[in-house]
Amino acid sequence: MRATTGTTVTVETVLFIPWVGDVSYISLEGATPTFTFSLINAVVSLLFILIASQTNRSNRPLMIYLCMGLFVHLVSSLFFIFFPERFPYSLADYSKLYILQQIGTWLTIALISGVATDLILSRGGYKYAAFFITVLYSFIFGCVRYVVYLYILYKFSLLYMAMLFFIFGVLYDFLGMIAIYALFVRSVSDLMSSRSGREVWRW
Amino acid sequence: MVTIMKTYFIIMILVMLIYMVRHIVFSYNRLYSQQKISCRDIYDSDLPKISVLLPMHNEGKVIPLIFKSLLECEYDPDKLEIIAVNDHSTDATGEIIDHYAKAYPIIRPLHRLDPDQQRGKPVALNDAMSIASGEIFVVFDADYRPSKNLLKKLVSAFCDPIVGVVMGRVIPVNTGTNLLTNLLNLERTGGYQVDQQARYNLNLLPQYGGTVGAFRKELLMKDGGFDEHILAEDTELTYRLALEGWRVAYDNSAECYEEAPETWDARGKQVRRWSRGHNEVMFRYLGRTLRSQRLRFIQKFDAVLLLMVYTVPFLLGLAFLDCIALFFLGKMSIIAGWVFVLFVGAFNAWGNFAPFYEIAAGALLDGMKNEILALPALCFSFYFYMWNISFGLFDALIDMVTNRRVDWIKTDRYAESDPDKIAVSNGKAAEK
Amino acid sequence: MTFLFVLFCITFSLMLFPVLLGYYSRKAQRQEPLLIKSDNVKDPRYFSKSFRRMVETSLKDHPGEETLHLSKDERLLFADQQTFTPDCQVDSIVLAMNAPLDAPAGCKFSKEIYAAYDVRIGADAQIRALAGLNDVTLASGVQFLRWVDAESALDIGPSCHLGISASAGKRLRISKSCSFQRLYAPEIVIGENTGAAVGSPAETMQKRGEASSKLIRMDRVPSSETITGSVIADDSLVLDENCVIHGSVHAGKRLHIRRGAYISGNVISDGDILIEENVSIEGDVFAQGCILVGYQCRIGSEGRIKSIVARKHVSLTEESIIFGYVGTEARGSIIDKDEFYKAMGSMF
């Protein structure tokens, strides 16, 4: 497969778990950042960290989260400033790591979602619907995000790899799971307080 | 070095897994297992004499409300005294206390005004206890509004001779003010409705929270009262008594409104203080807990997990930095897929999100509806807590190393609680 | 490019979805704190007092009407103008204001009864609830759906089913084979009469004061031993015959109190409690499991209110006396000596 820019895109495989077998991933070359680009990113990250930490007192958690992301990006920028040749990952490596992580995340989410929904409601359609929607959400999100992130790293720079990996990575899979879980619990709460659902909670 | 780093995050995975299992067990117990009944159903004409201790510093806005509530409490007035401690207040707290003391003989004022005296809740309580005549002490913060039968409910737990401390349930009254108060309401629900009750069911260690609670006078007085050099005197009391073989009882029906912090800054200071105090207790009691002959293995195990609760977020933060370092060292690809996934999944799901089981279970039992939809926002507040808890841990370490004296800091108060507004809005809530 | 743009939008939307959910939760409706009934007061005779207050207020505000204005309007039947026949069915609230009420056998009252004078209920009657302002006497087999209360004395015949609560202002006597969930009276007599001894309150109060601070850990108190202090066991605990405990008792599991024992304080167990015959307990009895009280036992003392509270089943044997309250989350029953020994055998 060739992209329009002439970049070579191939599909490789890697071992996931010995008794499960191999998984496939997209392999292509990413854009290495220049010194100037890395420097600009470092300065901007630092500036934003300083500004964010002094302002936005009304939403501290979001500010701290963003500062963490900017910190990771700052570290990445500094790494590319001082040790650009030592950056250990190519875009193909990132793609492989992403797929390994994502498949594991899908399995983990399926397990956690199953346990969590079963805890709240031991029988009934709501729990299966919540489980199915959660797994589907995670699958679709994982796939589209894979393409989008690969594009960002390919088109712009490998500099963003660390931030995409740590800050905009698996956390959002679990955020989505929690959101669907919250909707599920709310539905169960509605059901239990409805006329048909009102029953003695048997301890 | 790399081996140490990898070993560290595998250990953190295991720690988070343990906490996750603990929270699932508690949630399951609360939802499906047999619940322990508390002594609140006991009718007993021989109630002990109690002293209600109210430590106050600049509480002029809210004092009349708690006095009104306590004076309306259904408890034999001959067996009740209220000791209101004016702890170096600079507002009208002292005058208001004197005004009520003049009108109601069961209210006794205690003014601590000497500038050379140490300030703070533990010291104020110790001074109050030295003049109190009750067998049981009940402590409330000034912004609480006990209901009519709350005193009886708390005191009835002491019919059990092995109970040294009892804790009631705290419910935020300003839950609808903003996202923060909504999240705090969710956390409280998980913490009290599920966590505390499950620990009580399983004969583990419910925690005395310093307010809406009571304890036996003789147990404290024999040790000289509260430790005045510790911020978390409530946690210290919990462990002190548990290691002596006393039981901490929890009564889920002994509910009382509290005012939750309404700004992130106030919440951050509060969490940092709690972390500092709790970690001070951890330094002091971790070894003793592990060596205790009184506690069964499972009680000891849970007690240690409870002690570590304000240390683990810092360790998780370190694990996060560890992971970043491993990333830039290029060690991610060396880790087999499933182990790597274990960490990332565990980091985001098991450790970060473990309380969600409890919060969801608690929200269900409380009949919450739209409030529960704010659950994803708790994920972001985890970073906020990690930040402030870490600073609290550093404070505690510095206190321990330098023998630094702790200065008491009070949580900010907000709008005056209006009892009529609360009653009307609750009436509307009840009708729905 | 369009494809990538669409993918980007999907990714962004899915990432924003959890955040927007939180925003929706804030906007959807004003969040109220969990309701705490701040004026709630526990009263074992609450049902009756509440009903009586509603009736008296309604009668006062609307005198002479044949409708009672409660939470909804209820039809009234004045019992003074009525003669009830055996096996009759009454679907109105019954008011007996001027004379004693006699309900013959087999009557069914699907609503509440308010009686200003004595009440006699015939055998096998079925009643929703009854508030008597004087004495109430129930023949055998009477069934209550909700509660029964007498301001003075409540006398309950055999095999009655007492609904949620049976209470009296002065004295309650309950016969064999009755079932209940809660009982309350300053004096509750089990069976026809009681052979239970009554202790000396003054002496016990003094001893309790001495004993309160001392905890003694043991799993068996020997026969005829006197202990000053509270006895604690992490597991099961046995108090042998005729022992005397000047304090309270706590067992982590099962608690077995043998005949003739005396306890001046409370008796608490995380498991079951078996109390054999002729045991005197001055304080409360509380179990996370079942409680079985033998014959000729005394719980509490005259002039004071004490309680027996169990998570599971409570069985009270004839010829015992309880001063105060008996409550269970399951069911309670009144048994005779033979049933007591059978239950003791199966329990322990």
Name the most confidently modeled range: B315-329, C8-22, C99-113. Answer: C99-113
**Residue found under tokens 């919440």:** B267
Per-residue model confidence as pLDDT tens digits over C175-189: 999 999 999 999 999
Residue B374 carries which DSSP code? Answer: G
Instruction: Flag whether A54 is in a domain.
Output: no
For residues A73 and A67, what is the distance between their CA atoms, to the nearest angstrom? 10
Dihedral (C-alpha) C20, C26, C27, C32: value to the nearest 10 degrees? 160
pLDDT band for position B412 (cuts 50, 70, 90): low
B323 interfaces chain A, CB cutoff of 8 Å: yes
A171 interfaces chain C, CB cutoff of 8 Å: no
Q: Which residues pair with C328 in a beta bridge?
A: C310
A111 interfaces chain B, CB cutoff of 8 Å: no
Q: Of B299-308, B340-349, C337-346, which gets the smallest average pLDDT? A: B340-349
For residues C50 and C64, what is the distance between their CA atoms, to the nearest angstrom? 21
pLDDT confidence of residue B186: 92
Whether the pLDDT of residue B335 is over 60: the answer is no
What value does the mean pLDDT take over residues B327-344? 61
Domain containing residue A187: 89-203
Instruction: Flag whether A199 is in a domain.
Output: yes
Per-residue model confidence as pLDDT tens digits over A139-198: 999 999 998 888 888 888 888 888 888 888 888 888 888 899 999 988 888 888 776 655
Instruction: Flag whether A133 is in a domain.
Output: yes
Which residues in chain C touch residue B36, judged by CB atoms under 8 angstroms apart?
270, 288, 311
Per-residue model confidence as pLDDT tens digits over B124-139: 999 999 999 999 999 9
Q: Supply the DSSP string of A149-181, one letter for each residue.
A: HHHHHHHT-GGGHHHHHHTTTHHHHHHHHHHHH
Domain count, chain A: 1
How far separated are the first and last CA of chain B, in Å rounded?
Answer: 61
Q: Of B48-52, B368-372, C12-16, C190-194, which gets the smallest average pLDDT? A: C190-194
B181 interfaces chain A, CB cutoff of 8 Å: no
pLDDT band for position C161 (cuts 50, 70, 90): very high
Instruction: Flag whether A175 is in a domain.
Output: yes
pLDDT confidence of residue B346: 55
pLDDT band for position A16 (cuts 50, 70, 90): low
CB atoms within 10 A of CB B128: 24
**Residue found under tokens 């970690």:** B279
Q: Supply the DSSP string of chain A, one letter for each residue.
A: -B-TT--B-EEEEEEEETTTEEEEEEE---PPPPHHHHHHHHHHHHHHHHHHHHS-TT-HHHHHHHHHHHHHHHHHHHHHHH-GGG----HHHHHHHHHHHHHHHHHHHHHHHHHHHHHH-SSSHHHHHHHHHHHHHHHHHHHHHHHHHHHHHHHT-GGGHHHHHHTTTHHHHHHHHHHHHHHHHHHHHHHHHSTTT------
Whether the pLDDT of residue A35 is over 80: the answer is yes
Instruction: Flag whether A152 is in a domain.
Output: yes
A137 interfaces chain B, CB cutoff of 8 Å: no
Our CA-based measurement puts residue A133 at a distance from the nearest CA of chain B, in whole angstroms, of 16
Size of interface B-C (CB pairs under 8 A): 157
Measuring CA to CA, which residue among A56, A58, C23 is closest to residue B264? A58
* C18 sits in which H/E element: helix C2-28
**Contact (CB<8Å) C311/B371:** no
Which residues in chain B touch residue C25, judged by CB atoms under 8 angstroms apart?
182, 370-374
Which residues in chain B touch residue C327, judged by CB atoms under 8 angstroms apart?
41
Q: Which residues pair with B112 in a beta bridge?
A: B87
Q: Please list, in sequence order, all residues whose beta carbon lies within 8 angstroms of the beta carbon of residue C47, skipping any fewer than 6 positions away.
A: C129, C146, C147, C149, C164, C165
For residues A141 and A128, what is the distance between their CA atoms, to the nearest angstrom? 20
pLDDT confidence of residue B343: 56
Q: Which residues pair with C261 in a beta bridge?
A: none
C touches which chains (3+ CB pairs under 8 A)?
A, B
Whether the pLDDT of residue A18 is over 90: the answer is no
Q: Work out the burial of residue B257: count CB atoms within 10 Å of its CB; fewer than 13 is exposed, 13-18 middle, 19 or more buried.
A: buried
Whether the pLDDT of residue B185 is over 80: the answer is yes
Whether the pLDDT of residue C330 is over 90: the answer is yes
Position with higher pLDDT, C73 vs C258: C258
Instruction: Flag whether A123 is in a domain.
Output: yes
pLDDT confidence of residue A171: 82
pLDDT confidence of residue C252: 94
Cβ burial A33-52 (10 Å sphere, 16+ → b, else e):
beeebbeebbeebbebbeeb
For residue B383, give the 3-state DSSP assignment. helix
Average pLDDT, chain C: 89
CA-angle at C256, arms to C250 and C259, nearest 5° = 120
Closest Cα in chain C to A149: C8
pLDDT confidence of residue B191: 93
CB atoms within 10 A of CB A198: 9
Percent of chain C with pLDDT over 70: 92
pTM, two decimals, is 0.88
Per-residue model confidence as pLDDT tens digits over A94-137: 888 888 888 888 888 888 888 888 877 766 778 888 889 999 99
Closest Cα in chain C to A150: C4
For residue C129, give the 3-state DSSP assignment. strand
For residues B101 and B108, what is the distance between their CA atoms, to the nearest angstrom? 6
What value does the mean pLDDT take over residues B77-106? 93
Our CA-based measurement puts residue A34 at a distance from the nearest CA of chain C, in whole angstroms, of 25
pLDDT confidence of residue C201: 43
Whether the pLDDT of residue C86 is over 50: the answer is yes
What value does the mean pLDDT take over residues A30-44? 87
Instruction: Flag whether A135 is in a domain.
Output: yes
For residues C204 and C302, what is the distance between their CA atoms, to the nearest angstrom? 13
Q: Of A76-85, B93-102, C151-160, C257-266, which gets the smallest average pLDDT? A: A76-85
Long-range CB contact pairs, C249-254, < 8 A, 24+:
C249/B161, C250/B160, C250/B161, C250/B162, C252/B203, C254/C289, C254/C348
Rounded (to 5) percent helix, strand, coil in chain B: 60, 10, 30
